[in-house]
Amino acid sequence: MRFVRRAALAAIVVGALAAAVGLYGVRAWLATPLHIGSEPATVEVAPGQSLTAVAQGLAARGLLEHPRLLALYARYTGADARMRAGEYAIPPGTTPATLLQLFVSGAVVQHTVTIVEGWTFRDLRKALADQPALEATTRDLSDAQVMAQLGEEGRHPEGLFFPDTYLFGKGTRDIEVLRQSRERMRKELDAAWRARHDDLPLADEYQALILASIVERETGLAAERPRIAGVFVERLRRGMRLQTDPTVIYGLGAKFDGNLRRADLERDGPYNTYTRAGLPPTPIALPGAGSLHAAVQPEERGELFFVATGLGDGAHVFSKTLAEHEAAVRQYLIRYRQQHAPARGTGR
């Protein structure tokens, strides 16, 4: 009887020792870095994909040893049920334990798409179509269909999206980036409109958006935005035509070849601010925050005209009278001809 008891006790001790050795081995393995190399490795976890499949894929790439052990440990800790789908960057030094933490955290790789101030909606759509990490769900839709997808059926899309750099995970639908940009413009425009000057000749915030888009396209220097807005506001107050080239160019659309002709300025159309008074019917571009605020907080000096200095610095000369403006235009033309005159000795 004593012998049996001693044998049973010995078996328990041996089993305990074996378990201790095994546990120590697992712990050591969990703290051992994967074979990542010097640069991060990327792995995609598909929606619904099991951790076993992910581990086997990593093992096939030579990044992970003992994939079954990772799957068993994840099942034991519950990490397999909390793993989030997405694209992950695995940095050098990652261990099996921190890999599971990464999958559970959902800290996926962030891609970016930049929407530039002054772009048109067509430019915006092209940028989204050219971003391979986005899922293209709007590529074959018309502008009207895109707006319907955003819940704004019948709304003209121009100017309604805020220019900025947006972050997203791989596989995000392009419509979601548009939705985020649209909501951002709502907030920015609302904030600008609430901070507007009194007695502006603007009926509502949409007209402010239209004016901001014109300011965006006319401005080479950020510091001049409020002053340029002031010129347009003064013209609106006096019932003068805005006479701004960017609106005409927008109205020409794909017909514009880079050269704005006198005939274009004389041809009537809804966006021709040389032939029609007031603002055009819609924005002509995507204005940024600076232009939004300039449109509703213009720097009004009684100026009615502006023309480029011709110095290549993006600055303008502002004038209150037509005579002053014509003198500034002459000075601009002199500089332009000097800069574009053929060099002497070329035989031209």
What phi and psi, each to the nearest 5 degrees, are found at residue 40? Answer: -60, 145
Position 26 scores a pLDDT of 75
Position 314 scores a pLDDT of 86
* C-alpha–C-alpha distance, residues 23 and 18, integer Å: 9
Q: Which helix (H) or strand (E) holds 46?
A: none
Model pLDDT for residues 159-189, shown as the tens digit of each residue: 999 999 999 999 999 999 999 999 999 999 9
For the chain, what percent of residues have pLDDT higher than 70? 91
Residue 16: pLDDT over 50: no
Confidence label for 1 from pLDDT (cuts 50, 70 and 90): low
236-253 burial, b at 16+ Cβ within 10 Å, e below that, comes to beeeeebbbebbbbbbbe
pTM (2 d.p.): 0.83
Model pLDDT for residues 257-311, shown as the tens digit of each residue: 989 999 999 999 999 999 999 999 999 999 999 999 999 999 999 999 999 998 8
Helix (H, G, I), strand (E, B) or coil at 168: strand
Model pLDDT for residues 103-131, shown as the tens digit of each residue: 999 999 999 999 999 999 999 999 999 99
Residue 343: pLDDT over 60: no
Q: What is the mean pLDDT of the chain?
A: 90
The first and second tokens of residue 267, run together, are: 């041809």
Position 8 scores a pLDDT of 54
Work out the average pLDDT over 189-213. 97
What phi and psi, each to the nearest 5 degrees, are found at residue 110? Answer: -100, 115
Helix (H, G, I), strand (E, B) or coil at 193: helix
Position 20 scores a pLDDT of 44
